[in-house]
């Protein structure tokens, strides 16, 4: 019995921003956005704060795991849009959930944040004797999007996902590979109190090649083959990246889970949101072999393989 995902949860804001809405804001079109990204709409947190979204996703994950906030030993919060400069959003979430014990901290790895966080949570359980770690990926990217920049404003949305990482239950985190390259930071970044800046073409090429490499490496590490994968859950950045990556890995698109058309790129929240929806839709079942991969600012990237 290994370290597993015991509960899943997500939350997306009520307010929907469609491509047709964006046509009225910048020089773009629904056809242009869909063709190049696969995105039709995204959710924008007008009524909800980052913590509101994180709390709702967390409570859903706790309910699915059938545990209470008091059972949580640590909270790891992956975000690039924290509620405050300090304290950590994880500490603020700990207060909202009324977790009476344990500790909480944030990590910043952009779109790779959830996979980095999963590695951190696994390490806390293996090395520190913890039993339950609440891992949250949540973003309010609408706060750092330049709504006059048509190359970036069409891509991003808000949302939150959460998982309970546990030392008991069925399933197992089988293997992971994490990478970063600080020399390439200028390809995707946001200045302090500034907007997202991105060199899309350069990032596209790097993303496909880099994620392919870590996916193959993590499969080799686990002693498994591409053919054995039941579900492929890539970071929801761009449908063309996902299609190119699936083709290079020789994974059928039928095995690829995507909800990018509904939510756009939600950074650290995208994989846990996708995992939860896949489970609720019956696409993710006990015993399934699931490959996850992401790439984001840093540059950071990685791949994780789990038996659900």
CB-CB contact of 153 with 26 (8 Å): yes
The 8-class DSSP code of residue 156 comes to: B
Relative to beta strand 74-78, strand 132-140 is parallel
> Catalytic one among 111, 167, 238, 259?
111
Has 265 been annotated as catalytic?
Answer: yes
Backbone CA torsion sign across 177, 245, 306, 82? positive
User: What does the angle CA 153 – CA 157 – CA 163 come to, to the nearest 5 degrees?
Assistant: 150
The whole-angstrom separation of Cα 296 and Cα 64 is 29
Has 261 been annotated as catalytic?
Answer: no
> Catalytic one among 167, 235, 238, 259?
235
- Which residues lie below 8 Å from residue 287, measured CB to CB, with a gap of 6+? 170, 171, 307, 308
Has 235 been annotated as catalytic?
Answer: yes
Three-class secondary structure of residue 28 per DSSP: coil
Catalytic residues: 111, 235, 265
């Amino acid at each position: 019995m290994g370290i597993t995902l015991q509960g899943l949860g997500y939350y997306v804001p009520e307010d929907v921003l469609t491509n047709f809405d964006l046509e009225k804001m910048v020089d773009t079109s629904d056809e242009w956005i869909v063709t190049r990204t696969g995105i039709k709409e995204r959710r924008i947190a007008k009524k909800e704060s980052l913590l509101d979204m994180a709390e709702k996703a967390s409570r859903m994950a706790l309910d699915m795991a059938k545990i209470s906030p008091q059972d949580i030993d640590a909270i790891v919060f992956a975000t690039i849009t924290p509620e405050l400069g300090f304290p950590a959003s994880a500490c603020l979430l700990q207060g909202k959930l009324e977790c009476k014990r344990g500790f909480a901290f944030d990590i910043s790895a952009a779109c790779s944040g959830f996979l980095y966080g999963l590695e951190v949570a696994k390490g806390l359980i293996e090395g520190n004797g913890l039993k339950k770690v609440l891992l949250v990926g949540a973003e309010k990217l609408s706060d750092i999007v330049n709504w006059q920049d048509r190359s970036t404003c069409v891509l991003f949305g808000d949302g939150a996902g959460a998982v309970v990482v546990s030392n008991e239950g069925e399933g197992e985190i089988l293997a992971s590979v994490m990478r970063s390259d600080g020399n390439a930071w200028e390809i995707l970044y946001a200045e302090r109190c500034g907007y997202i800046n991105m060199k899309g073409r350069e990032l596209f090429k790097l993303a496909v090649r880099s994620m392919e490499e870590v996916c193959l490496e993590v499969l080799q590490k686990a002693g498994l083959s591409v053919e054995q994968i039941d579900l492929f859950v890539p970071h929801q950045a761009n449908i063309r990246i996902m299609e190119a990556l699936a083709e290079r890995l020789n994974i059928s698109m039928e095995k690829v889970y995507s909800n990018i058309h509904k939510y756009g790129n939600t950074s650290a929240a995208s994989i846990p949101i996708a995992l939860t929806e896949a489970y609720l839709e019956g696409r993710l079942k006990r015993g399934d072999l699931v490959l996850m991969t992401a790439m984001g600012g840093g540059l950071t990237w990685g791949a994780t393989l789990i038996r659900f």
